[in-house]
Amino acid sequence: MTEEVKTMKYLLIRADDLGYSEGVNYGIAATVAAGLVRSVGVMTNMPAAVHGLGLLHGHSLCLGQHTNICVGRPLTDPSHIPSLCTPEGEFRPSRTYREAAKAGRDFVVLEEVIEEIEAQYRQFKALTGREPDYFEGHAVASANFFKGLEIVAQHHGLPYFAMGRPGEAVIFRHTRVYAYMPRDFKAYEADPFTGVQDAVAHAHEGACDLMVFHPGYIDAYLLDHSTMTTPRVREAAMLCRPEVRAWLEQQDIRLVTYNDLT
């Protein structure tokens, strides 16, 4: 590794949840058009995924599979994966995972979640006509879910991005990646740009710092199914501000995608 690479700082800006709803799709599309977001995670099980990918058509992007087991309906027959589903055939919501984790339980059956992960992977290829540039999961409190993701990724030779603990690096290919967590959540929620400034100020030399955003606009589906509403709008607005992009271009840091990491 050259001295320049050892001291270089990298920042990866990622937008999650394409397909969650049309409002979310429009917010992500706006940030892509503004130029800062070049890595986008797709929820392939969601009906609005087709709409979202259509909005991004023509942009050169790093597209990932943002595997989801807590919103909407599965791609697998719910009767085949009962541990993941409600009696109505919907995925169990994220609060159910949190409650189980507090009780020390993981109700996800590994074989069942692997079946759904595989189905979402096949759907990604069907919708995009390509392999995912990175492969990871929408955060839920289930060790079996992440074990299933790792198994499927290994089986297909996919570039798996593992969940890491705050402050600890995970290795993607051969690059250390640190996921950023806001130090001051109140300041971040009021203006997410404070988080960008903080991430750059504390960036790691010879490694990549990751900022995961959930930009989007509020619609009825989002209001009915998510507790994350206003922060999505604020993140979308911040990522679209020309002065934010101009500020980043002046910093001693290189903006990258997963495809740039070696």
Q: Are 137 and 164 in contact (CB under 8 A)?
A: no
pLDDT tens-digit readout, 13-53: 999 999 999 999 999 999 999 999 999 999 999 999 999 99
188 with 182: CB under 8 angstroms? Answer: yes
The answer to whether the CB of 36 falls within 8 A of the CB of 255 is: yes
Q: Transcribe 67-120 into DSSP letters.
A: E-SSSS--SS-GGG-GGGB-TTSPBPPHHHHHHHHHTT-----HHHHHHHHHHH
pLDDT above 90 for 139: no
pLDDT above 60 for 5: no
Contacts of 71 (CB under 8 A, 6+ apart): 20, 43, 46, 91, 93, 94, 138, 225, 226
Are residues 39 and 65 in contact, defined by beta-carbon separation less than 8 angstroms? no
Q: How far is CA 174 from CA 1, 10, 61, 157, 229, in A?
A: 11, 14, 21, 15, 35
- Average pLDDT across the chain, whole number: 95
Q: Report d(CA 79, CA 100) in Å as an integer.
A: 21
Whether the full predicted model's pTM is greater than 0.85, yes or no, is yes
For residue 27, which phi and psi values (nearest 5 degrees)? -65, -45
Backbone angles phi, psi at 105, to 5 degrees: -115, 150
Among residues 126, 145, 127, which one has the least CA distance to residue 136? 145
Exposed e or buried b for every residue in 219-249, given b needs 16+ CB within 10 A? bebbeeebeeeebbbbbbbbbbeeebeeebe
H or E stretch at 6: helix 3-7
**Which letter does DSSP use for residue 154 in this model?**
H
147-160 per-position pLDDT tens digit:
999 999 999 999 99
Task: State the pLDDT at residue 2.
Answer: 52
Express each pLDDT in 71-100 by its tens digit.
999 999 999 999 999 999 999 999 999 999
Residue 235, pLDDT > 50, answer yes
How many other C-beta atoms lie within 10 A of the C-beta of residue 78? 17
> For residues 196 and 211, what is the distance between their CA atoms, to the nearest angstrom?
8
Helix (H, G, I), strand (E, B) or coil at 65: strand
Q: Is the pLDDT of residue 226 over 60?
A: yes
pLDDT for residue 249 is more than 50? yes
**Cα 210 from chain centroid?**
11
